[in-house]
């Protein structure tokens, strides 16, 4: 945790352990830095205090590992080690030591869960999808996954897409999905090493051909234009599971056929630079930007100008409520429009707390959703 008064005239004198007694959301390294930051903090203190009151709701997950995954003291590494998924397969980018060992430049797709079959959705659902899934508990019950499975740590990517589309539909920003869905997905990073998890969209949108254009500066130039077709789910680690026989063993779940239901295409660069090229063949039904950090990056400004022009529904997520409010303010000032999807908790946020946060606010990947 960084000192909230970092950058004052004097350097920080130690760890930031002195928390604001009112909001409890920020901390300081010393009394002098707390005093020097008082004029800045007083404008945000009450707002942060109200956000801290919602911590119990944000930390409320149905999983048996909830207490460990929401505690600041529990590191991501130790959590993954206890679940046998540290630095392997699609889990490799979920902690610092894994992310430092591999880059996004590899075009080799990781197509396995590295979990037993009973802990992951490696096969199709045993029953039709309910009309609306509204929680992790709903989803786990439908997919017959026990609540001790850590699969949600990666499944939050396709489930956030699912929920963003439900919200846009409920707000009449998007018509009912029929047989095709075009998505522009902005700013992917660790998803590039977890692309097989998007195969779960086969279950979430049965009978729908889903095409996702992933656009962002983290995509290496040599992968620009790369197309991936998914016709099955990520595989478990059991050799005798039927998921190994439901597809051509040569293709291992990632095929190059053009008839697949889920198609992913990678585009290097910023969305505002690539948009005209992307829409030559077809326009998106919806734009989704996970963990966008709109207020933190000036590169969003020309993209927001573009969104104002094209009037395509766009749903964003961020790690915490404060970041979402800052993003909403920035979006409103650039576009001149109010949010059409108000800031709200994503029921399918990742159930593992973000370690490096500038605030004591509970922070989770894809924690809050909001949209234009």
What was the pLDDT predicted at 256?
38
Gap between the Cα atoms of 155 and 133, Å rounded: 14
Gap between the Cα atoms of 282 and 300, Å rounded: 23
- The mean per-residue pLDDT over the stretch 312-323 comes to 94
> Of 61, 139, 7, 39, which Cα lies nearest the Cα of 349?
61
**Does the pTM exceed 0.85?**
yes
> Of 326, 325, 317, which Cα lies nearest the Cα of 345?
317
- Is there a contact between 364 and 318 (Cβ–Cβ < 8 Å)? no
What was the pLDDT predicted at 247?
47
- Is there a contact between 329 and 300 (Cβ–Cβ < 8 Å)? no
pLDDT one-digit tens code per residue, 109-131:
777 899 999 999 999 999 999 98
What was the pLDDT predicted at 95?
83
Whether residue 301 has pLDDT greater than 50: yes
What was the pLDDT predicted at 253?
39
Burial letters 193-222, b for 16+ CB under 10 A, else e: bbbbbbbbbbbbbeeeebbbbbbbeebbee
Gap between the Cα atoms of 20 and 123, Å rounded: 49
In sequence order, the 6+-apart residues with CB closer than 8 A to the CB of 79 are 65, 68, 69, 352
In angstroms, what CA-CA distances link 20 with 24, 54, 71, 353?
5, 17, 20, 21
Gap between the Cα atoms of 219 and 190, Å rounded: 10
Q: How many other CB atoms sit within 10 Å of the CB of residue 177?
A: 16
- Is there a contact between 320 and 368 (Cβ–Cβ < 8 Å)? yes
Tell me if residue 314 falls in helix, strand or coil: strand
What was the pLDDT predicted at 258?
39
DSSP state of 112: B
User: What percent of the chain clears pLDDT 70, i.e. is strictly above it?
Assistant: 91
What was the pLDDT predicted at 356?
73
What was the pLDDT predicted at 96?
79
Whether residue 221 has pLDDT greater than 90: yes
- The mean per-residue pLDDT over the stretch 346-371 comes to 89
- Is there a contact between 236 and 246 (Cβ–Cβ < 8 Å)? no
Whether residue 19 has pLDDT greater than 70: yes
User: What percent of the chain clears pLDDT 90, i.e. is strictly above it?
Assistant: 59
Q: Across the strands, what pairs with 344?
A: 369
pLDDT one-digit tens code per residue, 225-261:
999 999 889 999 998 898 877 544 333 434 333 345 8
DSSP letters spanning 229-263: EE-SPPB-S-TTSGGGTSS-TTTTTEE--TT-SEE
- The mean per-residue pLDDT over the stretch 133-151 comes to 96
255 vs 320: which has the higher pLDDT: 320
Gap between the Cα atoms of 187 and 19, Å rounded: 33
What was the pLDDT predicted at 107?
57
Gap between the Cα atoms of 157 and 346, Å rounded: 12
What was the pLDDT predicted at 174?
87
- The mean per-residue pLDDT over the stretch 40-68 comes to 88
């Amino acid at each position: 945790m960084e000192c909230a008064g970092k950058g004052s005239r004097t350097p920080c004198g130690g760890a930031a352990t002195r928390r604001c007694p009112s909001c409890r959301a920020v901390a300081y390294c010393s009394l002098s830095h707390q005093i020097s930051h008082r004029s800045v903090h007083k404008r945000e203190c009450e707002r942060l205090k109200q956000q801290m009151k919602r911590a119990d709701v944000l930390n409320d997950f149905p999983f048996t590992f909830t207490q460990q995954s929401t505690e600041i003291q529990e590191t991501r590494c130790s959590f993954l080690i206890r679940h046998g998924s540290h630095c392997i397969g699609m889990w490799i980018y979920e902690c610092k030591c894994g992310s430092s060992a591999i880059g996004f430049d590899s075009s080799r797709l990781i197509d396995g869960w590295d979990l037993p079959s009973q802990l992951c959705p490696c096969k199709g659902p045993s029953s039709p999808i309910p009309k609306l899934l509204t929680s992790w508990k709903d989803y786990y019950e439908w997919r017959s996954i026990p609540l001790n499975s850590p699969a949600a740590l990666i499944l939050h990517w396709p489930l956030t897409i699912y929920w963003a589309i439900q919200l846009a539909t409920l707000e009449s920003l998007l018509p009912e999905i029929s047989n095709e869905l075009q998505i522009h997905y902005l700013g992917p990073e660790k998803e590039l090493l977890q692309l097989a998890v998007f195969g779960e969209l086969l279950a979430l949108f049965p009978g729908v051909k889903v095409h996702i254009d992933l656009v962002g500066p983290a995509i290496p130039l040599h992968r620009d234009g790369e197309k991936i077709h998914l016709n099955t789910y990520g595989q478990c680690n059991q050799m005798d599971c039927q998921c190994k026989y439901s597809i051509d063993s040569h293709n291992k779940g990632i095929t190059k056929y053009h008839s697949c239901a889920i198609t992913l295409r990678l585009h290097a660069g910023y969305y505002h630079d690539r948009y005209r090229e992307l829409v030559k063949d077809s326009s998106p039904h919806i734009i989704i930007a996970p963990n966008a950090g709109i207020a933190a990056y000036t590169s969003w400004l020309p993209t927001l100008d573009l969104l104002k022009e094209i009037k395509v529904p766009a749903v964003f997520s961020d790690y915490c409520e404060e970041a979402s409010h800052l993003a909403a303010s920035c979006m409103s000032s650039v576009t001149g429009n109010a949010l059409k999807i108000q800031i709200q908790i994503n029921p399918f946020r990742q159930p593992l707390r973000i370690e490096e946060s500038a605030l004591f606010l509970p922070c989770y990947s894809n924690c809050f959703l909001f949209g234009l």
